[in-house]
Amino acid sequence: MSAGFQTATDARTGKGQHDENFPVASHLIHPRNRGAILAFYNYVRAGDDVADHTGLSPERKIELLDALADALTGKGGSDPSVEPLKRELAAHGLPPTHALELLDAFRMDARKNRYADWDELIHYCRYSAMPVGRFVLDVHREDPARVWKTSDAICAALQILNHLQDCGKDFRNLDRVYIPLDVMAKHGADPSMLARDKATPELLAVIRELAQRTLDLLEEGKPLPGLIDDLRLSLEIAAIHRLAVVLTRGLLTRDPLSEKVHHGKAGFALTALGGIAATLVRRPFRPRAATSGAGR
């Protein structure tokens, strides 16, 4: 079955930015930066679809991911998922570092389906999530020394939140368990419980402990909107952060195997607006960086 996949684009599932749990380059982002973020997303989506494809062997997944990297760096042939990002990187004067790091995460997914402890999971997030935030900040010319640390915390939290929300689906469809095995053992749970229609008390205890750790990461990242010079990006991140806090708190009381954790459109919008409003109220009192980009 995998022999028919010549490029990563052949493995695309059709999933796009509107199918994600959080906004991807919403209209809060200035038009001059949206193209770069969407091109980055589509490149990452191509790699993610390869890593999650059930019809590809691990070895073929690695080959396709390597080809994506080579197409981006100019070492190999072209791919339709790559050319827009190459153009945007050139236009913004940015290296391909963050995109290449995400491919490292997808290589991990091709080879690895269990995580021993929290540190292993955070290491995965370093490559699967943190480069996304760093890229968006770099596109906006924000100061890495000022913003990367809090961005990394938020991005790791978003990744782990998605893992918790999708824990049953990941196990059933991909035999992949991102929940640390030592936390499962601590509460008397095991991965086979993820196949059930309803979480056991032991598994709920695991999910709630990890949800609390995720809330701690979100608290660590809370200052980020106030550290960003670009107002529109600040509001985008504030909305995402507020949504993540609400959804993660939901996991303290809900069962992701049997209950819906995601917001409906109305609840999503109201929660996001709450984050935006809170940031706008605080905005006049934040000190601006010494060097901020023109037109911000």
pLDDT tens per residue across all 296 residues of the chain: 344 555 556 555 545 444 445 445 566 788 899 999 999 999 999 999 999 999 999 999 999 999 999 999 999 888 888 999 999 999 999 999 999 999 999 999 999 999 999 999 999 999 999 999 999 999 999 999 999 999 999 999 999 999 999 999 999 999 999 999 999 999 999 999 999 999 999 999 999 999 999 999 999 999 999 999 999 899 889 989 988 999 999 999 999 999 987 655 444 454 445 554 555 445 545 555 544 443 33
Six-digit token string for 208: 């709630």
Write out the CATH class of domain 113-286.
mainly alpha
Exposure b/e, 58-71, CB count within 10 A at least 16 = b: eebbbbbbebbbeb
Q: What's this model's pTM, rounded to 2 decimal places?
A: 0.84
What amino acid is encoded at 247 in this protein? L
Give the DSSP per-residue string, 222-260: TTHHHH-S-HHHHHHHHHHHHHHHHHHHHTTT--TTTS-
Q: Please report, in angstroms and rounded to a whole number, the separation of the first and last CA atoms in the chain.
A: 50
- What's 131's DSSP letter? H
Comparing CA positions, the residue from 133, 5, 117, 132 lying closest to residue 61 is: 5
Number of neighbouring beta carbons within 10 Å of residue 267? 12
Characterise 52 by phi-psi region: left (phi > 0), alpha (psi -120 to 50), beta (else): alpha
Q: Which regions of the chain carry the CATH code 1.10.600.10? A: 113-286
- DSSP conformational letter for 10: G
